Amino acid sequence: MEKDIITLFADKLKEKLDGKFTLRSEVDRKGVTCGWCKLEDPSEITKAAQIVADFNGRIMTISALISSDEHVEISYHFYFGNVNCTVSITLPDNLREVKSITPILKSADWHEREIKEFYKIKLVGHPNPRALFLDKSIQMDKNTMVPLSAAMNGSSTSTLWEKIMKSNFGEEKQNE
């Protein structure tokens, strides 16, 4: 049954993809199937994602890897029909850019933003490509930071609210 899904996936890839691909699968002794697929053309990852979406699948995670010869390889770990299927692409030389699959699979949102931030890979077509963790662009300033001591006071007095009102008022003034 599970083997069928991998065969079905292969058939769909043959039908939808223009470029070449390789696909192998292995079944462990607990009966769990893992598929390993490599796409020749990295831009076709969106087509592969669409097939997964059609299968009611989701993405589990995305791993980027910089090989010893400086090539960037991205592995998309999909899950559909009780099968873990990894689809890998290798980015062409000097191009750190990949089509976003978030518009197709919403579950890819944070994973793509993470590879963007940690591997400097540009996402094309991501609805919200902001950094997630450490980038300077998301560092918070004094308008957004409220010290814990102030927050603790705020839980029993009006201090916190006064601070928020003041900060909102300040923002409005700046906008004017």
Partner 1 sequence: MSSYTIPIGPLHVALEEPIYFKLNVEGETVVGVDINAGHVHRGIEFLAMQRNYYQVLTLVERVCSLCSNNHPFTYCMAIEKIAQIEIPERAEYLRVITDEIKRIASHMFNVGIIAHNIGFDSFFMHLMELREVMQDVKESIFGNRMNLSANCIGGVRYDIEQDQIKYILRQLDSLKKPLEEAIKIYKTNSSICRRTVGVGVLPKDKAISYGVVGPVARASGLDLDVRVNTPYAAYDKVKVNIVTEQGGDAHSRAVVRLREIVESIRIVEECIKNLPDGPVDLGIMPTIPVGESIAKSEAPRGELIYYARSNGSEIPERLKWRVPTYQNWEALTVMMKGCKIADVPVIVGSIDPCVSCTER
Contact residues for partner 1 (CB under 8 A)?
28-32, 34, 36, 56, 58-61, 63, 65, 75, 77, 82, 84, 86, 105-107, 109-111, 132-134, 138, 140, 144-148, 151-152, 155, 164-165, 167-168, 171
Burial (CB count within 10 angstroms: exposed 0-12, middle 13-18, buried 19+), residue 49: buried
Look up tokens 């009966």; give the residue.
31
Residue closer to partner 1 by CB (options 50, 61) is 61
CB 18 to partner 1: min, Å: 27
For residue 93 the two structure tokens come to 């030389």
Measured from the CB atom, the residue of 15 and 145 that comes closer to partner 1 is 145
Min dist CB 41 to partner 1, Å, is 22
Q: What are phi and psi of 20, to 5 degrees?
A: -85, 160
| Closer to partner 1 by Cβ: residue 4 or 14 | 4
Residue 76 phi, psi (nearest 5): -100, 120
What whole-number distance in Å separates Cα of residue 154 and Cα of residue 163?
A: 9
Minimum CB separation from partner 1 for residue 92, in Å?
Answer: 20
Question: Which residue(s) pair with 99 in the sheet?
Answer: 124
Count of C-beta atoms within a 10 Å radius of residue 13 = 19
Q: Which is nearer to partner 1, 44 or 109 (CB)?
A: 109
Question: Quick check: 93 and 35 in contact, CB under 8 A?
Answer: no
For CA atoms 74, 62, 126, 101, the dihedral sign is positive
Nearer to partner 1, 43 or 50 (CB): 50
